[in-house]
Amino acid sequence: MQNIRNYFKFSLFFVMLMFLAGCAQNITVQTPTHSPETGKSQLSLIPPANIYLKKVQDVRAPGRAEGSREAAFGVPMGNVTFDPPAAVAVQDLIAAELIKAGHSILDKEQKVNVAARVLAFEVGTDVTLLYWDIIGKTKIEVSVIGLSGNEVKKVFSSSCEDRTYVWPSGKLIKKVMQSCMSYFAARMRNDIEIAQAIKSMTEK
């Protein structure tokens, strides 16, 4: 009798999972905007520079989903995309950080040129029967390039996580990616090599 009850419970649970899978829906999440923090940083401690910020390149595999949500046992619940695109959000973030630190962004090549590439910008879920862990990941390469072609390149990676006991909505996903972008911004503005490269190229 107990085996019959267990079988009935499992069958009912399986039917519910299949129903959820049938309701799977792709969603578009607003890419978080970035507001630089006040206070000193490595970028603010160097003399103001005129900087040309090149268009950020997204070098991720084309057509690849930027994220996904799952129910228990890996049942897919739809893909996640971001709007505006990650490259636009990263471009705005870098510009905002440089301006906040006292530098000027110009629209043509300067002694100091900054380029960036989006290597990863994605979100996923790790799920149990009780909760979802929303996990965001970013990997962004930032280069400072002089007129002679000399270059300083750094790669900044971040992984951010939040646990929820309710359905992982677009609002919660946005919150996680906001944390990843804030972490990237903090590391970039306090990177000594990036700051010193800007300073030395300005002085040449």
10 Å CB burial of residue 20 (0-12, 13-18, 19+) is middle
Backbone angles phi and psi of 112, in degrees to 5 = -115, 125
Q: Which residues of the chain have pLDDT under 70?
A: 1-24, 63-77
For residue range 74-88, list pLDDT tens digits in order.
556 678 889 999 999
The pLDDT score that the predictor gives to residue 198 is 97
Residue 118 to residues 60, 67, 121, 161, Cα–Cα distance (Å): 7, 15, 7, 20
Closest CA to 47 of 107, 126, 112, 118: 112
The pLDDT score that the predictor gives to residue 64 is 65
Q: What count of other Cβ atoms lies within 10 Å of the Cβ of residue 129?
A: 8
The pLDDT score that the predictor gives to residue 39 is 86
The pLDDT score that the predictor gives to residue 67 is 64
For residue range 127-171, list pLDDT tens digits in order.
888 888 999 999 999 999 998 889 999 999 999 999 999 888 889
Q: Which domains are present in the chain?
A: 27-203 (3.40.50.10610)
Q: What count of other Cβ atoms lies within 10 Å of the Cβ of residue 18?
A: 11
